[in-house]
Amino acid sequence: MFDLDKLVRPSVKSLTPYSCARDEFQGKEGIFLDANENPYGNLNRYPDPLQLELKGLVAGLRGINIEKIFLGNGSDEVIDLCYRIFCKPGIDKALLFTPTYGMYEVSAAVNDIEIVNIPLNDSFQIDMERARAIINDKTLKLIFICSPNNPTGNSMNHSDVEELIASFNGIVVIDEAYIDFSAKSSFLPLVAKYQNLIVMQTFSKAFGLAAARIGMAFADQSVIHYFNKLKYPYNISTINQKAVIAKLGKRKKTLAEIKSIISEKERLVKLLGKMSIIKKVFPSDANFILVKVKDADLIYNILIKEGIVVRNRSSVAENCLRITIGTRNENNSLIKVLESVQI
């Protein structure tokens, strides 16, 4: 049985969080002499610590209650908080299916949490036999599932993921950073069904706001409570909140940008598939394509010389490059260089 109170680190459960001035008074009008702010300027006031205006828009966008939303300083803050809320340093473990997004491992190391790695199978899906064998380990507290996965680009089988959520007594975090590029359905509706599920999304990708550093976590309010308890009091700046609010007002533009990225991806997949230097183009539900090439280091360096930077993923997937979809002109430049390569 999943028991949230037992799962949360005892020091987090007993923590008295910092109470900021704006937690006590939330009105917009008034003479504010409560937070030792400077009375002059445009950015002189602390931001709303709970980002309620922005969360109201996110709630409408994703069809979920405001109490089930946490906004972090990028998804990276959400990942770090997961370790700090649920894992005891030096004792607990987290499970990853690799290759996957690097920050799960880095953040685990920062928090002194051991990682258990299960390699994805040949179709880049979860090896369920190995996963089933480990999920009853009492020190395993977190499972990270990235879907669509970075760097492979594919989505995980829905039934495998749901089986893990239903049978695991710890927290399952599904990272959906690339979900808006995918035709597959989000795991978000499952948040209403499973208290041990956290779905992460971000404004960094499909919304084009990587500079604003805002990631989202959706979970039962009992779980969100601990994120709010542990976060830095003003974790998201007013400037960044406003940037997202403005972008959410331009829904048509965002959808058009997503559509053009997807159609450029389809065009690139076809063109890359015809090249002799490319051995395989892996299917992608994201805004990037993983390709297996004849010699990844060589091709990476040729592209660099031409001022084109892709990600060499050879260290985690043999002879593979990860190519982000750019504008039509950027993609044309890439294709031109690749077509000229003779190996």
Chain residues that interact with ligand PMP, rule: CB under 6 A:
74-76, 101, 146, 150, 175, 177, 202, 204, 210, 215
The residues with which 215 forms a beta bridge, in sequence order, are: 72, 202
Paired with 214 in beta bridges are 73
In this complex, which beta carbon is closest to ligand PMP, that of residue 201 or of residue 331? 201
Of residues 168 and 203, the one with the C-beta less far from ligand PMP? 203
CB nearer to ligand PMP: pick between 146 and 236: 146
> What CA–CA distance (Å, rounded) separates 134 from 168?
10
Residue 73 CB, nearest approach to ligand PMP (Å) = 8
As measured in angstroms, the least distance from the Cβ of 60 to ligand PMP is 20
Output 8 or 320, the one with its CB closest to ligand PMP.
320
Q: Which residues contact 178 (CB under 8 A, 6 or more apart)?
A: 148, 150, 205, 206, 285, 286, 287
Q: How far is the CB of 181 from ligand PMP (least distance, A)?
A: 12
Residue 282 · residue 153 · CB < 8 Å: yes
Which residue, 150 or 331, is less far from ligand PMP as judged by CB? 150
> Min. distance of Cβ 83 from ligand PMP in angstroms?
15
Nearer to ligand PMP, 77 or 264 (CB): 77
Q: Which residue has the tokens 């209650």?
A: 65
- The backbone torsions φ and ψ at residue 198, rounded to the nearest 5 degrees and listed phi first, read -120, 125
Residue type, 46: Y
Q: Give first-to-last CA distance, the chain, whole Å.
A: 57
Q: How far is the CB of 327 from ligand PMP (least distance, A)?
A: 19
Query: Is the omega angle on the peptide bond into residue 148 within 30 degrees of 0, that is, cis?
Result: yes
How near is the Cβ of 145 to ligand PMP at its closest, in Å? 10
Q: Which is nearer to ligand PMP, 118 or 146 (CB)?
A: 146
Smallest separation, CB 94 to ligand PMP (Å): 15
Kindly give, in sequence order, each residue whose CB lies less than 8 Å from that of residue 245, ignoring residues fewer than 6 positions away.
53, 54, 57
Q: In degrees rounded to 5, what are phi and psi of residue 199?
A: -105, 125
Q: Which amino acid, residue 171?
A: I
Residue 80 beta carbon to ligand PMP: minimum distance, rounded to whole angstroms = 10
**Using CA atoms in the order 271, 334, 178, 296, what is the torsion angle rounded to 10 degrees?**
90
Alpha-carbon gap, residue 142 to 86, rounded angstroms: 8
State which residue has the least CB distance to ligand PMP. 74
Q: Which is nearer to ligand PMP, 76 or 295 (CB)?
A: 76
Nearer residue to ligand PMP within complex by CB, 75 or 154: 75
Q: Classify 80 in phi/psi space as left (phi over 0), alpha (psi -120 to 50) or beta.
A: alpha
In angstroms, rounded to a whole number, what is the distance separating the alpha carbons of residues 226 and 243?
26
- β-pairing, 114-119 with 140-146? unpaired
Q: Closest Cα partner for 144 from 189, 106, 184, 88?
A: 106
CB of 104 to ligand PMP, least distance (A): 9
The closest of 154, 135, 138 to 146, measured between CA atoms, is 154
